Amino acid sequence: MKYRSRLRLRLRRHFMCRRDRLLVFCLSLMLVLHLNLGLLDAATPSLADRVVEHHLANGLTVLMVERHQTPVVSINITFAVGGINEQVGQTGLAHLYEHMAFKGTRVVGTTNYEKEKPILDELAIVGTELDQREREVVAKGTSAAAEERAAVESLQKRFLDLQAQAAQYVVGNEMALLYQRHGGVGLNASTGKDLTRYMISLPSNRLPLWAAIESDRMANPVLREFYKERGVVMEERRLRNDDSPNGLLFETFTSAAFRAHGYGIPTIGWGSDILSLTPAATEAFFKTHYGPNRATIALVGDINPKEVIALIEQTFGKIPAAPPPPSLVTIEPEQRGERRVEVEFDAEPAIVIGYHKPTVGHPDDDVFDVIDAVLSDGLTSRLHQTLVREKRLAASAGSDANHPGTRAPNLFIVTATPLAPHTTAEVEAAVYEEIERLKREPVASQELAKVLNNLDADLVRGLRSNSGLASQLAMYQAVAGDWRYILTSRDKVAAVTAGDIQRVANQYFTKSNRTVAVLVKKSSEKAIAAFPAGEVKP
């Protein structure tokens, strides 16, 4: 999941507007900000004044903003938990738990939990033993004894029988249907390297229903249909990673760039790990990481903060805090030489180039956001103008200042797809030319002013909706430790100069700090091999 990009919430106060048309643009933008965010008029409360913050005794953080234009509230629950919190051999747990969280609780999703529970308990035992026995038989191959194979068949039969018994108590998709019947929209969730997030928008008079459902889900999740959902996740991995050229390219690239840190492990997990995940391991992961002390709830819309606080205290306040999670101690060592990898796939070529960089809070991190916008923000950006329009080397080109997460030092990446008959080598050389230009030539004041203005316009669009503001508040509270980072980063970005861009480009965009992954069209290589040099393909 891309948490910060050129659409980041940057509330910059100062613009480098030296031409009249830029001055008009800035004044217009200030008016829009005044109308939409109430940030610029001294008589209107600023965003900092409008956010009501409340902390429960169990560690839960609640952020609230009143907007009474419509009787709707958008809610975002963000846990500071993701793929980097997993252990070796259990990759994919965070993503799998996100799936399981929609299966219900002891009340939701079942017709009779008392009768369902013993079946689920036995199913977990049988399923875990079956996984182990199947792995052993597969490892032994034809040398596996007949008794071992018979034992597997017996377990398979019992497993299927228990699944059928458990299925009779399942009320499929009941949580989503409850929200839908009461006007809820946008029910969704996402898991990334850093965060797990749940979101919903619903009529404000249905807040008590939301609090009852979500506090129950946070306190009493039930891992029903575990093996069915594990199979769904495995199929998702095949579609998005194993059988997807871009998915496989990025997975290989990221793993090459991070050899020690958890960022190098795909969020969805490795296939062998997914197939070995158990209900016991998933439940243990939940109890360790998903307590209220790891969560932030942001509510934006037609609310009364005092009433919301009372409601959340009565519901979420009863949930005990989880014990402190294990510390993340692994730090990615300094890269000391270019790394290059190739991915063979019967697909059109593509390339990803990445450079290690600092994370949120570091002064250079804000400079990378400006560089990101200079290179790929819109049709007038440098990569699009040079590679796509002028030289026609690439069908597309872009960049990202925070791959694959933000809680730890990450990557600045450039991606491109060659336009036939041009090659990835030609595109790669053109990208380096643009990077060297950043090092060599100061970005013109007019170009820099345009970039900052566009970032502010993106800010307005990002915060205009209730769901957008709730998402950003919860995200920055979880990632930066304080939602006010939305505001404090404003002046940091506004202070970025052309000299800063040159300094950062020269410091970080070096060959020894670079990882390159290339998608190679396998079928083309076979065709070339079939016709040695000097021969002409008929």
Residue recorded with tokens 């091999």: 529
d(CA 249, CA 272): 19
302 shares its domain with 365: no
CA dihedral 255, 259, 261, 266 (to 10 degrees): 20
User: Do residues 505 and 433 make contact, with C-beta atoms less than 8 angstroms apart?
Assistant: no
d(CA 155, CA 237): 26
200 shares its domain with 304: yes
320 shares its domain with 368: no
Residue recorded with tokens 């059109």: 348
Residue 517 located in a structural domain: yes
Q: What is the DSSP letter of 347?
A: S
* pLDDT at res. 45: 65
In the sheet that holds 295-301, the strands lie side by side as 52-55, 61-66, 295-301, 72-79, 196-203, 185-191
d(CA 223, CA 213): 16
Of the candidates 36, 28, 26, which has an alpha carbon nearest to the alpha carbon of residue 464? 36
318 shares its domain with 368: no
Residue 122 located in a structural domain: no
**Owning domain of residue 454:** 339-528
User: Do residues 299 and 75 make contact, with C-beta atoms less than 8 angstroms apart?
Assistant: yes
**Beta partners for 196?**
79, 191
Pairing of strands 350-357, 514-521: antiparallel
Residue-level pLDDT, tens digit, the chain, 538 residues: 333 343 333 333 333 333 333 433 443 444 334 434 444 333 346 778 899 999 999 999 999 999 999 999 999 999 999 999 999 999 999 999 999 999 999 999 999 999 999 999 999 999 999 999 999 999 999 888 899 999 999 999 999 999 999 999 999 999 999 999 999 999 999 999 999 999 999 999 999 999 999 999 999 999 999 999 999 999 999 999 999 999 999 999 999 999 999 999 999 999 999 999 999 999 999 999 999 999 999 999 999 999 999 999 999 999 999 999 888 999 999 999 999 999 999 999 999 999 999 999 999 999 999 999 999 999 999 999 999 999 999 999 999 999 999 999 999 999 999 999 999 999 999 999 999 999 999 999 999 999 988 887 777 677 789 999 999 999 999 999 999 998 888 778 888 999 999 999 999 999 999 999 999 988 644 444 333 443 433 3
289 shares its domain with 421: no
Instruction: Please say which residue of 285, 314, 331 terminates a domain.
Output: 331
DSSP string for 423-435:
-HHHHHHHHHHHH
d(CA 23, CA 166): 66
Rg (CA), the chain: 26
Of the candidates 368, 385, 499, 496, which has an alpha carbon nearest to the alpha carbon of residue 440? 499
Instruction: Please say which residue of 297, 331, 365 terminates a domain.
Output: 331
231 shares its domain with 363: no
The size of the chain, in residues, is: 538
Instruction: Please say which residue of 331, 359, 391 terminates a domain.
Output: 331
Residue recorded with tokens 């970080």: 508
Question: Based on the structure, what is the number of domains in the chain?
Answer: 2
